Amino acid sequence: MKSARKQPPSSARKPRLKLSNQISKDPVKVFCRLRPMQYPSDISCMKIVSDKTLVITPPESAMNFRNGSQKEIQLTFTHIFGEDVQQKEVFKTVSLPLVENLIRGRNGLLFTYGVTGSGKTYTMTGEPNDTGIMPRCLDVIFNSISNYQAKKFVFKPDKLNGFDVQSDTDALLDRQSELHAGLITPRNPKTPRSRKLESDVESNPMMSRETDDSKNISVDNDYVYAVFVTYIEIYNNSVYDLLEEEEVRAKTLQSKIIREDGNKNMYVHAVTEVEVKSSDEAFEVFQRGQRRRRVAHTALNAESSRSHSVFTIRLVQAPLDGEGEQVLQDKRVVCVSQLSLVDLAGSERTNRTKNTGQRLREAGNINNSLMTLRSCLEILRENQTQGTNKIVPYRDSKLTHLFKNYFDGEGQVRMIVCANPRADDYDETIQVMKFAEMTQEVQIARPTVTKLDLGFTPGRRQANKIFKEARARLEKEGHAEAANLDIDIGLVYSLGGPFPDLEIDNPHNDQVILNLMTYLEQRINKRNLLRADLEQKEIEFRKRLVAIEQENNNFRLENAHLKAAGMSHKKKISALEAHISLSEAQIDKLMNKLCTANETIKSLKHELKERNLALNQGLIDKQRVKQKYSTKIQHETDKIKSEFELKSKAQHEQLQPGVANPRYRRSQSADRWVDHRPESLVPVGTVLQPLMRRRRSVTKLTSPKEITDGASRYCLTAQNHDSEGELETKLYKVGFSFGLIFLHIGG
């Protein structure tokens, strides 16, 4: 049966255009900071009446004074910082709430706005001994999350303005790859020649700074955190990545494009996101990008920024699993919040800066982007105050296009307007101050962050730590089974907090119903999750109970077998004890015999030792006598041998024949010669020729007797060639006497 409920009236079905009036909004908070006078002779045109009110008096050189409208102008800001205010106080008042919102998961945007030379960059960056807003933000963030940071590469950018959650193994591989790349990369690699920026000189040197560890913010210790930073500049209405790798940068810088992600958030596509683990590392990355930022010298500022710079700190946080040990591997539970710190380039007037050429073009683009920002804020204010629905021209400038989401209610927006109270800057400063005061009238929707309740036990990280310490203590005490204990912290069985406020005071307010629907959906999801967890625990409990019962039965059977075996062992032990007693008696008897035998052996050894000593003494005496008689025998032998040699020598001298030299015999005339000449002998006509009176010539010897028969001498003539090829004749002579041969020297 159909319901008789009628259709709601048309007034109840109006479009939800007016729901924005029911959404909580906050105005853009604008702070004013006055820089000190540069010279004592300068005249100030500003006076601080209270911490929120500022009075500006036009000087005689101002256009208002010449036009006759020299009235004082009174401006109101959220807070005004005088010339002597320290950086620490500015940070605490302006930026610390933005950092707190960042850790709570909300986005934040901070502008520094003013004319050139008004101290915007100093307020944002500061000096080494007096740091500005950006370094102090980094210090507070890392002081707060220092003990809860995820390991590097656990969170990895997905190139679509989001982050993926990697396992510990994948993160470890990425860390090893980074380490390996750092080891093989030379310290001063030769990179492709890139376009030289005017800030690449020593105007932006690397500087060290003092860190502030005194301030921190409480965080949820059941989450892990990671910090990523990006640094871009908007130059001539184009976006450039200041952290892009040197190898990628070509001669002409490649501009980036602004895109919209799946959640309708604007981001710079393909921008470099660097994961940092400390405030010093993040500040070093900032300085690396700062060296590439475009600055130039103008008539009003020695280092005038020629571009808008945006340094973004992105905080990624994800809950731990139910055991409080590992990051939950689910991209949907990752919360990403960001804080954008924007250092706007100062507005300029050409007649004062004396810019020409490239500087003039840069100044024109800077002023155009600032005018677009002003137009967007004015249209937003008009839509909110007058109920109009004009289109906000965000896309007219890359600066406003990038931060469109903040003005649409996706974050908290704050502005610091920096002013130089010098009277000469009145005409430029008054326009900036009026725009800044008008900006406070713009209302920004208060962002709502719905933290997903997964039903995990609060404080599970600390519980996990305590459990591990207890388990380690048990293992140290000798309980080895403690190593197998599983961590089981479990879910909290609760469907959440109380119901939201259900009171409806406006028929057009559908937000209450939407909140109730969201709450009920969360309760249903939580109930399903808890039911599934309960069923799983019931199954595990039943399995464990069955296993314990089976183990108990096995122990009973084993106990019965052990009792029977124990009785048998007792009988064996009694028999063995009797055998041991008998064996001990036998051992005692044998020990007595052994002692007697040892005594006998000892006495015999002593007697043997004495006999060995006597035997050794006899051998020594015998050797001494032998040595004595051996010496005497040798002496007598030498004496007899000497006498024999003397007698033998004398007898030999008596029997030796007389000395004779056959060569000088007088009977040479009676010698007979055997002249041996070969048939092929070449005649020579030399003066010296052999003279042999009685000779017998032969050409060939057939028997040795031909030499000795009837002859006393023999002469052989031989011819050969010498080393120089000349004929050489040799004579060989032999003499015979009583059967002996005497050699003679011949020529």
The candidate with the shortest Cα–Cα distance to 299, out of 350, 347, 354, is 354
| Best CA proximity match to 338, nearest among 240, 447, 443 | 447
Helices 426-439, 358-386: crossing angle, 10 deg rounding = 30
- The answer on whether 108 is annotated among ligand-binding residues is no
% helix / strand / coil in the chain, to the nearest 5?
Answer: 45, 20, 35
CA max distance for the chain: 187
- The CB-side HSE value for 647 (13 A sphere, CA atoms) comes to 6
Residue 411 labeled ligand binder: no
Q: What are phi and psi of 83, to 5 degrees?
A: -70, -25
Residue 287 Ramachandran class (φ > 0 left, ψ -120 to 50 alpha, else beta)? alpha
Instruction: State whether residue 234 is helix, strand or coil.
Output: strand
**Measured distance CA(114)–CA(370) in Å, rounded:** 10
Minimal CA–CA distance to 694: which of 714, 677, 670?
670
Is 117 annotated to bind a ligand? Reply is yes
What CA–CA distance (Å, rounded) separates 138 from 141?
A: 5
- Give the contacts of 440 (CB within 8 A, at least 6 positions apart): 27, 28, 29, 30, 76, 77, 78
Q: What is the 3-state secondary structure (H, E, C) of 728-739?
A: EEEEEEEEEECC
119 known ligand binder: yes
* Amino acid at residue number 595: C
Helix, strand or coil, per DSSP, at residue 199: coil
Extended strands (E) in 23-78? 25-27, 29-34, 46-48, 53-56, 73-76
Distance CA 123, CA 703 (A): 137
Residue 116, annotated ligand binder? yes
Asked if 120 and 113 touch (Cβ cutoff 8 Å), the reply is yes
Helix (H) or strand (E) holding 698: strand 695-698
Cα separation, 24 vs 412, whole angstroms: 12
> What are 605's two structure tokens?
């050894």
Number of CB atoms found within 10 A of residue 482's CB: 15
Lookup: tokens for 263: 């959640």
**Residue type at 547 in one-letter notation:** A
Of the candidates 346, 341, 348, the residue with the CA atom closest to the CA atom of residue 314: 341
Distance CA 261, CA 162 (A): 9
Contact, 674 vs 707, CB < 8 A?
yes
> If you search the block for the tokens 């976006």, which residue do you land on?
239
Q: At what angle do helices 96-103 and 133-145 cross, to 10 degrees?
A: 40
Alpha-carbon distance of 718 to 727, in angstroms, equals 11
Q: Please check whether residue 329 is in contact with residue 276, taking contact to mean a CB–CB distance below 8 angstroms.
A: no
Calculate the alpha carbon distances from 653 to 439, 610, 645 in Å.
Answer: 152, 66, 12
Angle, vertex CA 56, rays to CA 55 and CA 59, nearest 5: 150
Tell me which H or E stretch contains 368: helix 358-386
Q: Find out whether 191 is annotated in a ligand binding site.
A: no
CB 717 within 8 A of CB 697: no
β-strands 163-165, 155-157 pairing: antiparallel
Q: Does an H or E element contain 231, and which?
A: strand 223-235
* Residues 243-274: b if buried by 16+ CB within 10 A, e if exposed: bbeeeebeeebeebeeeeeeeebbbbeebbbb
Q: What are phi and psi of 103, to 5 degrees?
A: -70, -30
Binding positions: 114-121
Binding positions for ATP: 114-121
